[in-house]
Copies of this chain bind each other. A is one copy, B any other.
Amino acid sequence: MTTDKLISEIRKKNSFLCVGLDVDLDKIPNFLLEEEDPIFSFNKAIIDATHNYAVAFKPNTAFYEAYGIKGWKSLEKTINYLNQTYPEIFTIADAKRGDIGNTSSRYAKAFFEDLGFDSVTVAPYMGRDSVEPFLEFNNKHTILLALTSNEGAYDFQTKKIEGETVYTQVLKTSKNWKNSENLMYVIGATKAEHLAEVRKIVPNSFLLVPGVGAQGGSLTEVCKYGMTPDISLLVNSSRGIIYASNQLNFAEAAAEEAKNIQLQMKAILDGIR
């Protein structure tokens, strides 16, 4: 998907919500466990119920890998379902990959071509030649971890290299990589005060913002510091939406949660128009 198409979907839906599909068999409604593929059944119901309020869906691959080959089949069915039924949805493989050149090419091929995701999250630690193989794909997006929403972000990401934090160095350095127009960045909502600084370095890049909701980040703060004239934000919510209920009405409850966030987003978008 092109960036322009993503922006136009955001405007059309008045939403920049990304729904995280972090599916845990211990948390989904019990009655689904009798289905042939409970993970896919759960995802399909959640996607069908929430797609009107969201522009993106983001399965975290760890949750699928944890179930071995069965899990990978569920992931494959989920992305195929999204691509076939809702081609206007932006899809993110939250895989946090990163390896040396020829190996990163393998990962890029797996996620972009074989599975058909629009984007994949990538870790920056190994530097340019671990990321550039992802950037070679046209209209595919590489979402680089910059400042994450967890406590451990303070271990290295906010430490200073020659007066500048590691994560701002990641932003600055990566801007010079080949095909850097295909980069987006992960910036956690729990650190919204950093967003103003981020925007000085990458004024136009899309930011994927986890940590609103369950992790405590504020949507208003994120928009205040992170939004651009093209919006350029994807705000993720996972548990708050998909586990809103574990009863028969789980999909309706998820839709209700997603709609609540979408309405907040619409209010913010109306406010800046």
Contact = CB atoms under 8 A, between A and B. Distances in A.
Interface stretch (A2-10, A60-68, A256-264): A60-68
A166 B156 contact: yes
A106 B63 CA distance: 6
Interface residues of A, number: 53
A39 B22 CA distance: 30
A103 B58 CA distance: 14
Interface string A42-80: 000000000000000000101101101100110010000
Given A125-B145, A151-B128, A69 B72 contact: yes
A181 interface: no
B123 A152 contact: no
Contact of A152 (B62, B73, B96, B127): B127
A267 interface: no
A66 B126 contact: no
A210 to B, nearest CB: 8
A151 B177 CA distance: 13
A157 interface: yes
Contacts of A66: 106-107, 109-110, 114
B62 A103 contact: yes
Contacts of A249: none
Contacts of A150: 100-101, 126-127, 129-130
A125 B124 contact: yes
A118 interface: no
A169 B160 CA distance: 11
A106 B25 CA distance: 12
Contacts of A153: 126-127
Given A63-B106, A69-B69, A110-B66, A129 B100 contact: no
30 contacts: A60-B99, A62-B99, A62-B107, A66-B107, A66-B110, A66-B114, A68-B72, A68-B110, A68-B115, A69-B73, A96-B123, A96-B126, A100-B149, A101-B150, A123-B123, A123-B125, A123-B126, A124-B155, A125-B148, A127-B156, A127-B157, A129-B150, A129-B152, A130-B152, A131-B152, A156-B166, A156-B170, A160-B162, A161-B161, A166-B166
Given A96-B126, A155-B173, 18 more contacts: A65-B107, A66-B106, A72-B72, A96-B99, A123-B125, A123-B126, A124-B156, A127-B151, A127-B153, A127-B154, A128-B151, A129-B152, A156-B169, A159-B161, A159-B166, A160-B162, A161-B166, A166-B166
